[in-house]
């Protein structure tokens, strides 16, 4: 058809619409309700293909279409799927039903309404593998370290050194989630500037990565911060990310390698603690110990004429058993701190939890301590001065 968009868009949109037994696991009936909505969208030609899954208590919608990013029809379809799933969740009496839906009415774009969104549009290659990462019990900044290593660390990604198509490096679009501002920095030239920002994971978040040689999109991360949207704690953000692989992008093995180190991320119990990000298979994508520890799933797809071929459960591999064991050891170590920092988050992050209610209750019981009068420094006369 003349004028038809030939590019493919992949949209990964997630929301916590209610969980079985606390913040543990999505109920299969809610997934079925969402799938029926997306199946109708596919029948009508709105989307090309879809895959419905979950990680922990988050319902995940993976869709392909030709509408481009931020299209109201696609976001509206996802919103309808979440609303139908929420109805089922309420009927089943699931915990925190509709938690991430911060509005009753869809206004044309799902961003800012609670759900997390990662979307990218590109021209499909002859063979087009992608990896979809989905995390639970953590925040968008949890992807800062692995995304940096994938696209800027030659000790992780050999292609940066030996593949001419990667050798020129990548551009990082970094978002200040507090100010709503974005800056684009180049690697490797501005490597230290990039690290100066993204090391502050609660504020500066990698949003997109582009191949520097031709501005081709390489990766995208959801950057929605629920507490900043709602102004209160309503659950952790549980981000998603899409990374393109092979043929001018990092290999799948290079993309997975950073997750072999279970680095500390913010979230876990009540969104108030640091814990290790554990790479797990789909069968282990459920959070129990202290509502965690935080975990991440990686699903591999081939995009073929817009269809989602797969997925491959990429962390379902004994090669990641040792990282999982290390994550368990880190979990034991961090838990022994109890309510003390550095296990508990710092005060700037705790501001959006339920801790301020405790502080409000105690504020009138604080008494001013009278400080001793400040003494003038004494003058000592030395023999030299005499």
Residues involved in catalysis: 16, 233, 236
Handedness of CA 320, 321, 322, 324 (dihedral sign): positive
Q: What is the C-alpha to C-alpha distance for residues 122 and 244, in angstroms, rounded to an integer?
A: 10
Q: Where are the beta strands (DSSP E) in the chain?
A: 8-15, 49-55, 58-65, 116-122, 128-136, 170-176, 181-187, 204-211, 216-221, 240-244, 264-267, 273-276, 278-279, 295-304, 307-313
* Helix residue ranges per DSSP H, the chain: 28-43, 72-91, 144-152, 159-162, 191-198, 226-230, 252-256, 321-335, 347-350, 355-362
Q: What is the C-alpha to C-alpha distance for residues 118 and 312, in angstroms, rounded to an integer?
A: 20
Handedness of CA 213, 216, 222, 224 (dihedral sign): positive
Q: What is the C-alpha to C-alpha distance for residues 100 and 269, in angstroms, rounded to an integer?
A: 17
Q: Which residues contact 176 (CB under 8 A, 6 or more apart)?
A: 182, 183, 203, 204
């Amino acid at each position: 058809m003349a004028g038809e968009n030939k590019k493919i868009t992949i949209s990964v949109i997630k929301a916590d619409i209610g969980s079985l037994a606390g913040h543990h696991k999505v109920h299969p009936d809610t997934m079925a309700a969402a799938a029926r909505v997306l199946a109708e969208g596919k029948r009508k030609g709105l989307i090309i293909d879809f895959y419905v899954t979950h990680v922990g208590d988050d319902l995940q919608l993976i869709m392909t279409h030709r509408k481009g990013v931020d299209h109201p029809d696609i976001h509206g379809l996802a919103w309808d799927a979440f609303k139908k799933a929420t109805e089922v969740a309420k009927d089943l009496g699931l915990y925190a039903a509709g938690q991430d839906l911060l509005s009753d009415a869809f206004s044309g774009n799902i961003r800012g309404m609670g759900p997390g969104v990662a979307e990218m549009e590109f021209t499909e290659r002859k063979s087009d593998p992608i990896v979809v990462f989905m995390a639970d019990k953590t925040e968008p900044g949890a992807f800062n370290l692995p995304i940096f290593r994938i696209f800027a660390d030659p000790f992780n990604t050999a292609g940066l050194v030996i593949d001419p198509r990667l050798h020129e490096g990548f551009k990082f679009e970094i978002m200040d989630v507090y100010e709503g501002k974005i800056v684009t920095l180049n690697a490797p030239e501005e490597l230290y500037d990039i690290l100066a920002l993204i090391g502050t994971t609660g504020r500066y978040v990698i949003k997109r990565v582009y191949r520097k040689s031709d501005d081709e999109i390489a990766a995208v991360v959801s950057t929605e911060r629920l507490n900043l949207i709602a102004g209160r704690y309503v659950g952790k953000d549980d981000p998603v990310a899409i990374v393109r692989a092979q043929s001018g992008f990092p290999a799948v093995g290079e993309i997975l390698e950073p997750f072999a180190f279970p680095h500390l991320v913010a979230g876990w119990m009540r969104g108030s603690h640091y814990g290790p990000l554990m790479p797990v298979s789909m069968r282990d994508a459920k959070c129990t110990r202290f509502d965690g520890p935080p975990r991440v799933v990686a699903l591999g797809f081939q995009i073929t004429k817009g269809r989602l071929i797969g997925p491959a459960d990429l962390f379902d591999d004994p090669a990641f058993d040792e990282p999982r064991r290390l994550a368990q050891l880190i979990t034991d170590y961090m838990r022994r701190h109890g309510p003390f920092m550095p296990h508990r988050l710092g005060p700037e992050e705790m501001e959006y939890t339920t801790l301020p209610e405790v502080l409000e209750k105690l504020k009138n019981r604080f008494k001013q301590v009278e400080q001793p009068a400040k003494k003038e420094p004494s003058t000592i006369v030395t023999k030299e001065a005499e």
